[in-house]
A = this chain, B = another copy of it.
Amino acid sequence: MAVLGLGVMGGSLARAVSSLGVAERVIGWSPESTERDGALTTGAVNLAAASWREAVADVDLVVLAMPLRATIEIIDGLADALPAHATLTDVTSLKEPIGRAAADVGLADRFVGAHPMAGAETSGFWASRPDLYEAATVWIVPGGATESRIASVERLWSTVGAKARRIEAGAHDRLMAIASHLPQLASNALAHTIEGAGVARSQLGPGGRDMTRLAASSPEMWSHLLEHASPELIAGLRALASASEAVADQLEAGDVEAVDRLMRRTRAWQGAS
């Protein structure tokens, strides 16, 4: 197999697969030479290819582990470079744009989308770790791929400890707008507000630190995703704004009972799942 992109996501996958010895060879490529060197010296890969074309030349499975825009760009060039039997998969957190890109270059029957719900605010190969995917949910978007290709991608993720679950691309992206992108931007908005009030992160307690942890996430990765911002995400941000304003109004009016009802409700929601 080949892993293109050796940051947190690709590096962690390569490390896990190599340490388990489940692939005959793991070939890695990254645009960053320090990541290629790091992956080779740590044994995350057997071979660090000089170009992505070289990396995919003779493999059964190609995992694209790059941000959304870079993944789409490389798919555009892959159609003629990929061996005819090879299956293509990815790790991005939006599946409709990627699925379209694969279909556009005639790879729909060989592309299986994947999105592991794991990651880190830190980035790069040195932030990767072999147990990153342990117990994580991995969404599998079959698209137009054949069953044996879908099963091989599911096997890869099960092998590294993740739980593979199938979903349709549109349903996945609508879910992620609320389950992933909204919490990310809420953390940025909260950090911005706290900074605006003149409070440093070192002055926060454990709760405040948790709530602003995501504020350090990679702007590079997110800006690509946010080019495809969905109506659900925009509506979610506006609903969050309304909910915050409502609590401000309630506190201003001394209506502590309304806030109490909100807290009981969110506690029940949290406990139910």
Contact = CB atoms under 8 A, between A and B. Distances in A.
B244 A237 contact: yes
A226 B251 contact: yes
Interface stretch (A31-39, A98-106, A252-260): A252-260
Interface string A199-227: 11111111110111111110100110011
How many identical subunits does the complex contain? 2
A223 B272 contact: no
A81 interface: no
A117 B182 contact: no
Contacts of A267: 215-217, 219
Contact of A196 (B212, B233, B239, B260): B239
Q: Is the interface of A mostly helix, strand, loop or mixed?
A: helix
A262 interface: yes
Given A196-B239, A237-B244, A237-B247, 5 more contacts: A119-B207, A188-B243, A197-B232, A210-B211, A219-B263
Interface of A: 117-119, 137, 175, 178-180, 182-197, 199-208, 210-217, 219, 222-223, 226-227, 229, 232-245, 247-248, 251-252, 254, 256-257, 259-260, 262-267, 269-273
